[in-house]
Amino acid sequence: MSEKDKRTSRRDFLKKGAFLGTAAFLTGFGLQNLGINAENIDPDKRALLMDHSLCVECQACRLACQNENDFPYTIQSIKFKNRETGTYPEVDYHLSRWSCFHCSLAPCVEVCPVDAIYKSEQGMNTTAIEECVGCHQCVGACPYEVPQMQDEKMYKCNGCVHLLEQGKLPACVSTCPSYALDFGSQQEMAEKGAVRVEELKEKGEEAYLYGLEAQEGLGLLMVLRTSPDEFQLV
């Protein structure tokens, strides 16, 4: 089968999958069929999926996160990096969510001297803020510069583990008015992300799924409309 034929068959296969319904599609086929590197997929790990082909950068996620978790409003527990490329009028604007990526290999958990950061059952890197001694070691260790310090306490996304335990979605997901956020098992999110990347490519758009390779797999996967390198994503 030529490279082109392979693409065609994958596309047909995807369409058929969508037609049959996502559930049937996902159980019937594996990640390899979607061209996903499944090496780091952890069956017990849960993940967020952020689709930047839908996000209008409204910041509802940030506000819902701050309120849900009682973070100070100056803490950017979710922020966005942007890139403008091209020249008028052929110009593109791209976004990347920047919050805790919930690395499987999490240096912050390793370095915290008081075990204030720990892995939850769902694979989220969670902080017990009252235990934090403000030593800044996590700030130095994080490959994404995520932890934010204020008044000698560290704040970051904790995956709303307290809501997950009640069977609810993280606050950012349940408020997102653009339906750009999803949450589920890392495998399911990887599959949904890969399907979306294919859909966008079919429309002739650039698209990437980020988060299956860095730090042995992340708990925040992203559909990006420009290369992860553009955002210096490791």
**Binding positions for another protein, rule: CB under 8 A:** 53-60, 62-64, 66-70, 73-74, 76, 79, 84, 86-89, 91-93, 128-130, 153, 162, 171, 174-180, 199, 203
Cβ closest to another protein, residue 122 vs residue 127 = 127
Rounded to the nearest whole angstrom, what is the least distance from the CB of residue 105 to another protein in the complex? 27
For 56-75, b/e burial (b = at least 16 CB within 10 A) is eeeebbbebbbebbebeeeb
- What value does the CA radius of gyration of the chain take, rounded to a whole number of Å? 18
Rounded to the nearest whole angstrom, what is the least distance from the CB of residue 7 to another protein in the complex? 20
- Please give the DSSP secondary-structure letter assigned to residue 82: E
Tokens of 11: 């596309």
Cβ closest to another protein, residue 37 vs residue 82 = 82
Cβ closest to another protein, residue 41 vs residue 116 = 116
- Please give the DSSP secondary-structure letter assigned to residue 78: S
Closest CA to 183 of 13, 48, 71, 55: 48
Rounded to the nearest whole angstrom, what is the least distance from the CB of residue 117 to another protein in the complex? 14
Cβ closest to another protein, residue 82 vs residue 232 = 82
Cβ closest to another protein, residue 125 vs residue 175 = 175
Distance of CA 18 to the CA centre of its chain: 22
Distance CA 131, CA 81 (A): 30
Rounded to the nearest whole angstrom, what is the least distance from the CB of residue 27 to another protein in the complex? 22
**What residues form DSSP beta bridges with 104?**
none
Rounded to the nearest whole angstrom, what is the least distance from the CB of residue 91 to another protein in the complex? 4
